Amino acid sequence: MSDIIQLLPDAVANQIAAGEVVQRPASVVKELVENALDAGATKITINIKNAGKTLIHIIDNGCGMSETDARMAFERHATSKIRQATDLFNIKTMGFRGEALASIAAIAHVELKSKLHHTEMGTQIIISASQVELQESILCDNGTQFLIKDLFYNIPARRKFLKKDTTEFKHIMDEIQRIAIVHTDICFELIHNNQQIYSLPISNSQLRLKNIFGKNISKELVPIFSDSPLIKITGFIGKPESAKKRSGQQFFFVNGRFMRHPYFFRTVMNTYSDILGADAYPSFFIKLEVDPDSIDINIHPTKTEIKFENEFALAQIIGATVKEAIGKYNFTSSIDFQNEDLPMGGAVPVNADIQMPSIRVNPDYNPFAPTSNSNYNPQNFEKKQNPQTENWANLMQSFENQEPEQQEILKRTSEIDKDAKVMQLSLKYIVTPTERGLIVIHQRRAHHRILYEQYLNNFQEHKATAQQLVFPIEKTVSEDYALMLAEVKAELEILGFIFNIDGQNLMINALPVDVKESQAIETIDSIVQNFEQFNTSIEFERQKYVSKMLSYRASVGYRSLEIQEMQQIARALFLTTEPGYCPRGKRIFTMLALSEFENRLKI
């Protein structure tokens, strides 16, 4: 039998490669704009017709190409960006695989005009389906222009699968956003069907975001920053109250390149999960800088999936940095994002040296820990005061060298501690004066936050705070109900919910200290009803969920509070990790500044 293996002709090989690199018009835009970046352009114009199906025209003022390079550029594996395998571990350019132009030229009519800055004449090349149709010297501007016409004209099946223009154009906008958000030192213009969509002058990061997403975004974001030998983090994250109903404005960049990173994504979402309700998506624009040596960009043709060394450590730093920024924002309404003088990159202007968040729940502090079955007993307060003052002093000391914001928090809370002037408003708010004005605290949300963190803490410390019932509570439940309850039994027990299920008989023997007997059944019902949400295999997520539900049920309602209760809520609130938001994402307190009163009472 004769040999049957043959090498594929280049045009066919390129078409096959194109399947990986070019999925849609947006992929062409991405590749060509990245090439312009690599060519050192400071202005890139992207002119699109019919969502890129008929025309993609990209003009840059970068270095341009010589006649030979212009021709070479269309060869597969032709690149000026790496020369040897070791270069792969130190990539500083957007491209390096040398396959984009070869792929694009295999599936469209391509016209290239390019000129080096010091030569008089430029080069024009026309290629269709990998065949050079024309190459000649021409007069043209410095830099490079690509015209890509009739994408997939020779692969009808691919063309047919393109989505409607609005969808395809949305993909193009996404690609431009991913590039323009980080490359703030480059001017971009995007035109679609003769209409200008973006005009992005050179600017700093926050202005660039404003120019892309509209002026409202500046009110929705806070800057983040941290710098350590492993990683530098800059960018912006959304304030919890501006979270969106849909995911979308969520961007990670590494060394100037947009990336998808499900693990870091989850890390950020988990950081917010304590302060956002379900179905709310925070925006974020997080830029990571790491040693190019420590990442592998080469694992995917479009280079958006990137592998990191030390992923776990990096995720921890990212989570802590996000948490820190949210915490800071709670206490410094003065971070003025609108201020256009912030340094490029949007770093936090003062005290940039951020460490891991150091405000933690005081594990020994349980403002409502009763010694009897009653929900709250003011008499206990006196007895408990001494050890708490001691804790307080310790805490004070550990904070002494902290940042101004943290000292500010400390000052506020210590004022509450010392002066203890509190009053209740409308059975709903706790009002307490400080040197600078009034703090108004939503009592229910504050208590929800305090209990939530206590419960989570109970999980960590395996510390049940159960109160034994004199008469067990009994209920007949459905089979499903019993099954679901069995699933959560372990978690509920840690929190002090102790029960037996025998067939369809539920018998509750003990309750968490904060849950009243009368609430026992409805609390368990609500956990079972929302079982779907809880049904995750991630243990910590389950714990968070149960803690959230239980603490919500157990938190004080709108009722009259004793002075001591109010003092304890106020103090305990400011010892939690997120005093600003309740676990359902609502704001807990607000401040009325003295200056505000003075202003109002001027005349």
Q: Is 468 exposed, middle or buried (0-12, 13-18, 19+ CB in 10 A)?
A: exposed
Q: Which residues, other chains included, contact 313 with Cβ-Cβ below 8 Å and sequence gap of 6+?
A: 230
Please state, as a whole number, how many other Cβ atoms lie within 10 Å of the Cβ of residue 65.
23
Picked from Mg ion, ligand ADP, none, the partner binding residue 39 (CB below 5 to 8 A depending on kind) is: ligand ADP
Taking the C-alpha atoms of residue 475 and residue 570, their distance in angstroms, rounded to an integer, is 38
Q: What is the DSSP letter of 152?
A: T
Given a contact cutoff of 8 angstroms between Cβ atoms, the answer to whether 226 and 282 are in contact is no
Of 81 and 436, which has the nearer Cβ to ligand ADP?
81
Site membership for Mg ion, residue 33 (CB under 5 A): no
- For residues 376 and 496, what is the distance between their CA atoms, to the nearest angstrom? 17
Q: Does 35 bind Mg ion (CB under 5 A)?
A: yes
State the residue number with the nearest CB to ligand ADP. Answer: 95
Task: CB nearer to ligand ADP: give 81 or 421.
Answer: 81
Q: Are 306 and 259 in contact (CB under 8 A)?
A: yes
CB 306 within 8 A of CB 261: yes
Asked if 235 and 286 touch (Cβ cutoff 8 Å), the reply is yes
Residue 64 is a binding residue for Mg ion (CB under 5 A):
no
Residue 387: count of CB within 10 angstroms of its CB? 11
Between CA 417 and CA 397 the distance in angstroms is 16
564, 381 in Cβ contact below 8 A? yes
3-state SS class at 173? helix
CB of residue 132 vs ligand ADP: minimum separation in angstroms? 15
Contact flag: residue 142 with ligand ADP (CB under 6 A): no
Of 199, 201, 178, nearest in space to 190 by CA: 199
| Residue 301, binding choice from Mg ion, ligand ADP, none, Cβ under 5 to 8 Å by partner class | none
Strand partners, 307: 296
Instruction: Name the minimum Å distance from CB 22 to ligand ADP.
Output: 11
Applying CB under 5 A, the span of 28-36, 103-111, 127-135, 139-147 interacting with Mg ion comes to 28-36
Integer Cα distance of 209 and 174 in angstroms: 13
**CB atoms inside a 10 Å sphere around CB 64:** 26
Of 68 and 518, the one with the shorter C-beta distance to ligand ADP is 68
Judged by DSSP in three states, 563 sits in: helix
| Residue 188 touches ligand ADP, criterion: CB under 6 A | no
Nearer to Mg ion, 35 or 568 (CB): 35
Rounded Cα distance, 305 and 379, in Å: 60
Joined tokens for residue 14: 């390129």
Site membership for ligand ADP, residue 454 (CB under 6 A): no
Helices (H), 73-141: 100-106
CB of 124 to ligand ADP, least distance (A): 14
Of positions 31, 67, 168, 405, contacts ligand ADP by CB under 6 A: 31
Residues in region 533-562 near ligand ADP by CB under 6 A: none
* Binding string, residues 39-78; x marks residues near ligand ADP by CB under 6 A: x--------------------x-xxxx-------x----x
Q: Give the pairing of strands 43-49 and 187-192.
A: parallel
Q: Of ligand ADP, Mg ion, none, which one sits near residue 244, judging by CB under 5 to 8 A according to partner kind?
A: none
For the CB of residue 98, give the shortest distance to Mg ion in the complex, in Å.
Answer: 7
62 binds, among ligand ADP, Mg ion, none (CB under 5 to 8 A by kind): ligand ADP
Closer to ligand ADP by CB, 146 or 452: give it: 146
95 or 367: whose CB is closer to ligand ADP?
95
Contacts with Mg ion by CB under 5 A: the residue count is 3
In the complex, least distance from residue 260 CB atom to ligand ADP, rounded to whole angstroms: 20
Total number of residues binding ligand ADP (CB under 6 A)?
22
- Tell me which residues in 90-119 interact with ligand ADP (CB under 6 A): 95-101
What's the CA gap between 223 and 512, in Å, rounded? Answer: 40
- Under the criterion CB under 5 A, does residue 95 sit at the interface with Mg ion? yes
Binding partner of residue 420 among ligand ADP, Mg ion, none, CB cut-off 5 to 8 Å per kind: none
Which span (100-108, 147-155, 340-348, 413-421) binds Mg ion, by CB under 5 A? 100-108
Summarize as ranges the residues that interact with Mg ion (CB under 5 A): 35, 95, 100
Summarize as ranges the residues that interact with ligand ADP (CB under 6 A): 31, 35-36, 39, 60, 62-65, 73, 78-81, 95-101, 144
